[in-house]
Amino acid sequence: MSEVETNTVATPDDPFVADADLRPALFEWLCRMGDNALILGHRTSEWCGHGPVLEEDIALANTALDLIGHTQMWLGLAGEVEGEGRNADNLAYLRDAMKFKNVLLVELPKGDMAVTMMREFLFDAYHHLLLTWLAENSKSPRVAEIAAKALKEVSYHLDRASDIVVRLGDGTQESHRRMQAALDLLWPYTGELFAGDDVDAAIVEAGIAPDLGALHADWNGLVSEVLEEATLQMPEPGGYAHLGGKQGRHTEHLGFILAEMQFLQRAYPGASW
């Protein structure tokens, strides 16, 4: 290459990026944002070439692509905040399962279309609320600009997912049965979306992100409206919640995703093309 530097980032000033006290929590929080997008994106991409109809195949692949784009932004910023020379690729391909901080919901196997679309809907509803808050209120300009970019795409995700939940829920007897089964399977994994810990508390305190618990009521409202329209029975809010993904304690499924996703960089370190 010549002396050209490509893809430097034109950045607004953001005091949080170099804030040494906040660094561990902010790095952790950015990894959670990036890992949710990465793992859900990877799961969604598993449909590429396998969709039930061409249009759905294309829609799922496009959705996955958006999520991988978000991953690059969030993990890119995480690497910058960490300040140890790791970029988004290093973080995605060279961390082990316990260093991944995604919620358990996104790593569950893709299942059938009912599980895939119900998961996307439950996550999109949360994602949309969270990104809206970040884009409008985050005191970190870097976080706010990534959220504003991602939000435009996630609006289309939520639109499509909620539409499909209604159409399949209020569809045939078989599609209804599958959607209800998917909802019952996934519901205990939604509590983790709103369970804050010390990392969240530090980020909320800094004004970067909202108190997750405070988003829960809006999420319940949005989700219950769509589920009602879909003629599906919403499980009791506040039931048992599977936790641990955000702290690196994962289901057995994550390791298999990483084995597939990271194989090339593990077998041929530094390979590029």
Partner 1 sequence: MSTTLLPATDEVWTWLDEVPDPEIPVVSVTELGIVRDVQYDGGTLVVAVTPTYSGCPATAVIDLMIEDKLREKGIDDLRLERRLSPPWTTDWVTEEAREKLKAFGIAPPIDGTASDGMSAKAARLSGETNLTVECPRCGSANTERVSQYGSTPCKAAWRCRDCLEPFDYFKCI
Q: What residues make contact with partner 1 under the rule CB under 8 A?
A: 2-10, 12, 55-56, 58-59, 62-63, 65-70, 72-73, 124, 128, 141, 144-146, 148-150, 152-156, 158-160, 162-163, 166, 225-226, 229
Phi, psi of 172 (to 5 degrees): -90, 170
If the CB atoms of residues 56 and 82 are measured against partner 1, the closer one turns out to be 56
If the CB atoms of residues 56 and 89 are measured against partner 1, the closer one turns out to be 56
Give the residue among 190, 135, 131, 124 at the shortest CA–CA distance from 160.
Answer: 124
If the CB atoms of residues 108 and 158 are measured against partner 1, the closer one turns out to be 158
Start-end of H helices in 47-87: 54-82
If the CB atoms of residues 165 and 199 are measured against partner 1, the closer one turns out to be 165
Q: Nearest distance from residue 190's CB to partner 1, in Å? A: 18
Confirm if 44 and 120 have CB atoms less than 8 A apart: yes
Q: Nearest distance from residue 42's CB to partner 1, in Å? A: 13
Q: Nearest distance from residue 25's CB to partner 1, in Å? A: 23
Question: Given CA atoms 253, 44, 263, 243 in this order, what sign does their dihedral have?
Answer: negative
If the CB atoms of residues 64 and 104 are measured against partner 1, the closer one turns out to be 64
Cα(273)–Cα(263) distance, integer angstroms:
15
Q: Nearest distance from residue 86's CB to partner 1, in Å? A: 18
Q: At what angle do helices 212-229 and 113-137 cross, to 10 degrees?
A: 140
Confirm if 190 and 105 have CB atoms less than 8 A apart: yes
Helix (H, G, I), strand (E, B) or coil at 22: coil
Tokens 């991602």 — which residue? 150
Q: Nearest distance from residue 150's CB to partner 1, in Å? A: 6
